[in-house]
Structure 1
Amino acid sequence: MITMKDIVREGHPTLREKAAEVVLPATEQDRQILASLIQYVQNSQDPEIANKYGLRSGVGLAAPQIGVSKRMIAVQVHDDNNELLSYALFNPRIMSHSVEKAYLIAGEGCLSVDRDVPGYVHRYARVTVKGTTLDGKEVKLRLKGLPAIVFQHEIDHLNGIMFYDHIDSQNPFQALEGATPIER
Structure 2
Amino acid sequence: MIKMEDIIREGHPTLRLVAEEVPFPLSEEDLALGEKMQEFLKNSQDPEMAEKYGLRGGVGIAAPQLDASKRMIAIEVPSLDEDSDVPHISTVMYNPKIISHSVQQACIEEGEGCLSVDRHVPGYVIRHARITITYQDKNGETQKMRLKGYDAIVIQHEIDHLNGIMFYDHINKENPLYAPDGLQLLS
Inter-partner Cα distance in structure 2 for 1:51 and 1:129: 34
Per the alignment, residue 26 of structure 1 pairs with 26
Q: CA deviation at 1:174?
A: 1.2
Per the alignment, residue 2 of structure 1 pairs with 2
TM-score, scaled relative to structure 2: 0.95
Per-residue CA deviations over 1:17-49 (Å, capped at 9, x if unaligned) read 000000111111111111111111111011111
Inter-partner Cα distance in structure 1 for 2:125 and 2:14: 22
Per-residue CA deviations over 1:123-179 (Å, capped at 9, x if unaligned) read 000001111112332210100000000000000000000000000010001111101
Per the alignment, residue 145 of structure 1 pairs with 149
5+ residue gaps, structure 1, are: none
Inter-partner Cα distance in structure 2 for 1:39 and 1:70: 18
Answer whether contact 2:98 2:132 (CA < 8 A) is retained: yes
Matched, 1:156 2:179: no
Per the alignment, residue 57 of structure 2 pairs with 57
What is the correspondence of 1:100-119 to structure 2 with a 5 Å cutoff? 100-119=104-123
Answer whether contact 1:122 1:176 (CA < 8 A) is retained: no
Per the alignment, residue 47 of structure 1 pairs with 47
Inter-partner Cα distance in structure 2 for 1:15 and 1:35: 21
Answer whether contact 1:45 1:58 (CA < 8 A) is retained: yes
TM-score, scaled relative to structure 1: 0.97
Per the alignment, residue 36 of structure 1 pairs with 36
Equivalenced residues, count: 183
5+ residue gaps, structure 2, are: none
Look up the SS of the partner of 1:48 in the other structure.
helix
Q: Tell me the amino acid that sits aligned with residue 169 of structure 2.
A: D
Q: CA deviation at 1:76?
A: 1.0
Answer whether contact 1:45 1:57 (CA < 8 A) is retained: yes
Inter-partner Cα distance in structure 2 for 1:178 and 1:78: 26
Matched, 1:128 2:127: no
Q: Which shifted more, 159-168 or 128-137?
A: 128-137
Answer whether contact 2:107 2:184 (CA < 8 A) is retained: yes
Per the alignment, residue 69 of structure 1 pairs with 69
